[in-house]
Chain A
Amino acid sequence: MIKLTDLSKKYGVKEVVSKVNLSLNTNKLTAIIGPNGAGKSTLLAMISRLISSDTGEIFLDHQSLKTWKQNFLAKKLSLLKQANGFELKITVKELVEFGRFPYSKGHLTEVDHQKVNQALNILGLKDLVNEDISTLSGGQLQRAYIALVLAQDTDYILLDEPLNNLDMKYEVQIMKTLRYLVKQLGKTIIIVIHDLNFAASYADEIIAMKNGKIFKSGLTNQIIDEKVLSKLYEIPIQIQNISGKPFCLYFN
């Protein structure tokens, strides 16, 4: 379980995450939604120790995050950042192999190769394994990064807008993969996502953030609600049921 108590982060005088108290249940797919600048990425970065919090504490499996050894943590929790980029001459396969670093420290074993291949398969990267990542399209690159995180094979997986740049086929495929990981492999996945319909169809629980605070959190059907969403995004949002599934309509 991930538990946040009174978690705050300030940049200058601006409090971008303020006094967040939250429990994230294990073995669930939790979606974090909310307007741009709500503090979603900042929250994830604090949970994965990329940035430090100003106040408050984070507990992972009842143990304060500060007391976790960095290398143990890397086998327990992984993060895909919202924007990734570096200039490096490296192939897709080599990039994904870095996901095994916490285990093998660069000397890959049979198990490591298996995990890497599995991740490459899931993301449909088999034909691209030897491509230089600088030659990939935006969506292909995003899939390679997701594969890296999958290869890391952690209990907790935090994904910051993983559907960026993906076409519909891969959007659906990745959400299905995430469901599979939660259901069959017992992973806990927290995903920041802007597409409400994906959140509505695939998430078990939703956390809505606004202005650095938890606006509302609960089961998916509690949050996918006309009143809640309209207030969260400050635009009218209608919800229609199509073959038993809720769909949010926000075009005028």
Chain B
Amino acid sequence: MKKLIHSFPLKVIALLILVIVSCILFLTYQTYGNWDFALSLRSSKLLAFILVGIATSFATITFQTLTHNQFLTPNILGLDSLYTLVQTTVFFFFNGKQLLGSESVATFLLTIAIMVIFSVLLANFLLHKGQNNLFLLLMVGIILATLLNSITTFLQVAMNPNEFDALQTKLFASFNNINSQYLPIAAIIILILVIFLWFKSLTLDVLHLGDDQATNLGINIPPLQFSLLVVISSLIGVSTALVGPITFLGFIVANISYHFIGTYHHRQLFIGGSLIAIFLLIFGEFMVEQVFKLNTPLSSVIEFTGGIYFIGKIIYERKNG
């Protein structure tokens, strides 16, 4: 019996059922007879949630293994703030109106490319400077995110109001304003990156033993770190482009996966984490929209619970270790 409860396939089936049930609920509940309209609107939202769930869990779990730290997420270090800044900057300096048209996919790719370069520089610096000082790292990350946000705000204030308006509605996504024009390209990028991580997952398992032991077992750490950081920041970039920044989703999902899946195998963590993330997003959205009829967007709910979970974990770890 004990074995059965701990079996991975069983856990996956349980998660799959949860995901499927919440998908059905989400798609069919209270359509007011407007089937076609509701379905097309909701299914693109659903697809976005699935993509964001997968991207966030793969990126966060990989990032935490890489940094040997279950508190850090790419978002807490300000990677999504970086995305917003880069996008505003691109918009600011290359006459934004043009880019909003047919070339918006090109802007999207350019933004992600710039972001990858910046984040590799940034994260390399952080990885080398303060690996064993959690609180310093967190502080640097949070301060950096604030700094990046301030620069973004500065640029936005300096824009002419019409441009800003265009930027706001077209480029900055949120859960209520999903950038569905990016869905196909985002799906392709995420698929490629996720396959890459899938093939790296056995190497990631070794990284759990620490960088020294991994080196001893033949892994060349610096190039690995580099390639993983590129992948992680691309995933976060794509996810931010779709639904906007969500700081704590990755943190919640990764930590629930470690507890629920209870293994160090990345393949299992990736699968479990993705399903948990998709479930949380879809079920959360359903509850917020249909059941509680809240005006608060889902992202605020996630940030709120995630923030509490985060603080709780910090306090718990300080007491127990």
- Cβ contacts A122-166/B at 8 Å (1 or 0 each): 000000000000000000000000000000100000000000000
Q: Are A101 and B218 in contact (CB under 8 A)?
A: yes
> Could you say which of A50, A71, A81, A89 contacts B218, with CB atoms under 8 Å apart?
A71
Binding stretch for chain B, among A5-13, A21-29, A72-80, A220-228: A72-80
Q: Which of B209, B215, B217, B219 has the most CB of A within 10 A?
A: B217
Q: Are B215 and A49 in contact (CB under 8 A)?
A: yes
* B64 to A: closest C-beta gap in Å: 12
How many Å lie between the Cα of A105 and that of B218 in the bound state?
10
* B298 to A: closest C-beta gap in Å: 32
* B272 to A: closest C-beta gap in Å: 14
- Cβ contacts B16-28/A at 8 Å (1 or 0 each): 0000000000000
* B120 to A: closest C-beta gap in Å: 21
Q: Does A168 contact B (CB under 8 A)?
A: no
* A46 to B: closest C-beta gap in Å: 12
Residues of chain A lying within 8 A (CB to CB) of residue B217: 74, 98-99, 101-102, 152
Cβ-closest chain B residue relative to A80: B216
Q: Does A86 contact B (CB under 8 A)?
A: yes
Q: Are B206 and A101 in contact (CB under 8 A)?
A: yes
How many Å lie between the Cα of A75 and that of B208 in the bound state?
20
Q: Which of B206, B208, B216 has the most CB of A within 10 A?
A: B216
Residues of chain B lying within 8 A (CB to CB) of residue A98: 205-206, 209, 213, 217
Cβ-closest chain A residue relative to B263: A89
How many Å lie between the Cα of A154 and that of B254 in the bound state?
36
Q: Are A81 and B212 in contact (CB under 8 A)?
A: yes
Asked whether A89 and B264 contact (CB < 8 A) given A74-B218, A98-B206, the answer is: yes
How many Å lie between the Cα of A98 and that of B218 in the bound state?
11
How many Å lie between the Cα of A169 and that of B210 in the bound state?
30
Q: Does B262 contact A (CB under 8 A)?
A: yes
Asked whether A50 and B202 contact (CB < 8 A) given A88-B264, A89-B263, the answer is: no
Q: Which of B68, B206, B208, B215 has the most CB of A within 10 A?
A: B215
Q: Are A88 and B216 in contact (CB under 8 A)?
A: no
Q: Are B215 and A86 in contact (CB under 8 A)?
A: no
Cβ-closest chain B residue relative to A50: B212
Q: Are A86 and B220 in contact (CB under 8 A)?
A: no
* A190 to B: closest C-beta gap in Å: 14
Q: Does A48 contact B (CB under 8 A)?
A: yes
Within 8 A of A (CB), among B176-233: 202-203, 205-206, 208-210, 212-213, 215-220
Residues of chain B lying within 8 A (CB to CB) of residue A101: 202, 206, 217-218
* B87 to A: closest C-beta gap in Å: 38
Q: Does A219 contact B (CB under 8 A)?
A: no
How many Å lie between the Cα of A108 and that of B263 in the bound state?
18
